[in-house]
Structure 1
């Protein structure tokens, strides 16, 4: 076996370890704490060649990212992933100046102990030596936890420069590794758009450029990243703006299939009124075949795990 074969085998092992990280759940709610922390650590490694993260500095950032890209919770606990990621197959380690008791873990305890986390030396070396592995790990974490509509915002928040990693990949003339994932239905988009007759189910937008549909997308109600199926009852035809707002939890659906607008949304000008606030209580457009209308389990998942309650 040659050096390239050795590196490929090693890369596949690290990809498998990342895919197997254990994520805390409460009553079925997703918890992307560890993926967000790993993405930030990879960003630091790419930018500075080291992934040293001081808890006192990164804890508030992680709390803010969880508020933005995780399920709504009254209190976020960044100390949990920062400490418990150590239990996941040699990916992470934490140093501290005084002993920390896991049964008394708290934000204050990590601050008092001057906790510092970093990617394991072996994992960091593998990522630095192989930009294909770094890019694939980052994309795998994104694809397995969030819809693609949020990936750019997440990368900007955690400081991850995917274009820069791709440039490193091109300079080394190596290819990106395949991301292990379940197969998507390539016809999902066209099926959903046809079902809604190429109109946004919320605002009715039906833009075309000559004969080509523009600005319309097929949104998953229960995200594909968390086992939402590629079927019409789990899909909505939405314009690009309302798709983004739906995935960020600004917009949601009631059990009567009416649009909800989060009371946390802020927008005072006429555009916000016309494009967002006016949707509150509006009946969702139904697909041509009413048998394919929004399925309640998927709607409930979105309300529970994505929508920013309370509704206006």
Structure 2
């Protein structure tokens, strides 16, 4: 059985690029626990808070519940649920999962495959990360679910999946003249830029094209905050800062809060700015809460 192919075809609710990473997050969490204890079960009442934190931190901005993937992942053939009454999930109700002692774990065939092939866990995890989250979040997401992955492991995506365009970085950095679009940072060592990255506005995993009008040149800090939903781009191509962000230090105020309402730095004349359709997707699916008012001055 091709487990990478099965993982790539997880059934997820989707409409107009809506993010629904419930199942991938549960699977990543289960892989982290399997790595720690291959014979362990995940009792819903014991892991509910962990799963809710993952959904709050890495899921869509709107309200959601870990009961949904705990039940529905069974239908993808990679997960099983048992209760005090026997095999089978009691449904998506939180109370039902708690009161029946529902426990979940990776499907027996998948657990056997992971034991036979120690490298499979890394390939499955990398596939989930690549297909559902931007690269800037992969490292901290692995830490959040307790996964330790070999950094040399690479994932070959199924042939049906599109491949990234390696020219994206150069297109975006050139369009913004090697300056962070939020703060103007333009550091180099000799002729080589350092700490500058090409950020997808609409994530590649959700149909975002490898084109300059879907990209921003951002410093490493602001790229991470953009992908976490702290920063966004609003009307008039001005920087948005989420009201959910809290920072009291002078550095937090200067490098984040003071950005609210500032116009983007770039792109250069002749280069396409971020397309409205991609800005709207990011505001709907990634940006958290309401924006702060523009900083004084």
Structure 2 distance, partners of 1:48, 1:252, is 40
1:287 is aligned to 2:267: yes
Structure 1 counterpart of 2:295? none
Deviations 1:139-177 (A, max 9, x none): 0000000000000111111111113x96xxxxxxxx866
Match of 1:94, SS? strand
Structure 2 distance, partners of 1:177, 1:255, is 38
Structure 2 counterpart of 1:78? 66
1:48 is aligned to 2:62: no
1:67 to 51, 56, 60: 56
1:152 is aligned to 2:130: no
Higher share in helix: 1
Structure 1 distance, partners of 2:173, 2:16, is 33
Structure 2 distance, partners of 1:256, 1:176, is 40
Structure 1 distance, partners of 2:58, 2:89, is 26
Structure 2 counterpart of 1:302? 282
Give the conservation status (yes or no) of the 8 Å contact 1:200–1:239.
Answer: yes
Structure 2 distance, partners of 1:99, 1:50, is 18
Structure-2 change in CA distance of 1:176 and 1:298 (3 Å): closer
Residue 227 (structure 1) shift: 1.2
Runs of 5+ consecutive residues of structure 1 not aligned to the other structure: 1-9, 167-174
Structure-2 change in CA distance of 1:154 and 1:273 (3 Å): same
Structure-2 change in CA distance of 1:116 and 1:221 (3 Å): same
Deviations 1:211-253 (A, max 9, x none): 1111100000001111100000000000000000000000001
Residue 23 (structure 1) shift: 1.2
Q: TM-score, normalised by structure 1?
A: 0.88
Match of 1:299, SS? helix
Structure-2 change in CA distance of 1:39 and 1:72 (3 Å): same
Structure 2 counterpart of 1:210? 190
Structure 2 counterpart of 1:140? 127
Residue 286 (structure 1) shift: 2.4
Give the conservation status (yes or no) of the 8 Å contact 1:96–1:116.
Answer: yes
Structure-2 change in CA distance of 1:103 and 1:162 (3 Å): closer
Structure 1 distance, partners of 2:215, 2:154, is 30
Structure 1 distance, partners of 2:289, 2:122, is 35
Q: TM-score, normalised by structure 2?
A: 0.92
Give the conservation status (yes or no) of the 8 Å contact 2:80–2:88.
Answer: no
Structure-2 change in CA distance of 1:113 and 1:261 (3 Å): same
Structure 1 counterpart of 2:3? 14
Residue 131 (structure 1) shift: 2.2
Structure 2 distance, partners of 1:104, 1:38, is 18
Match of 1:267, SS? coil
Structure 1 distance, partners of 2:205, 2:14, is 16
Residue 102 (structure 1) shift: 7.6
Structure-2 change in CA distance of 1:221 and 1:177 (3 Å): closer
Structure 1 distance, partners of 2:196, 2:40, is 39
Residue 35 (structure 1) shift: 0.3
Structure-2 change in CA distance of 1:100 and 1:309 (3 Å): farther
Structure 1 distance, partners of 2:154, 2:231, is 35
Residue-pair matches, total:
290
Runs of 5+ consecutive residues of structure 2 not aligned to the other structure: 293-297
1:35 to 6, 24, 30: 24
1:106 is aligned to 2:93: yes
Deviations 1:106-153 (A, max 9, x none): 111100000000111111110121122211110000000000000011
1:241 is aligned to 2:229: no
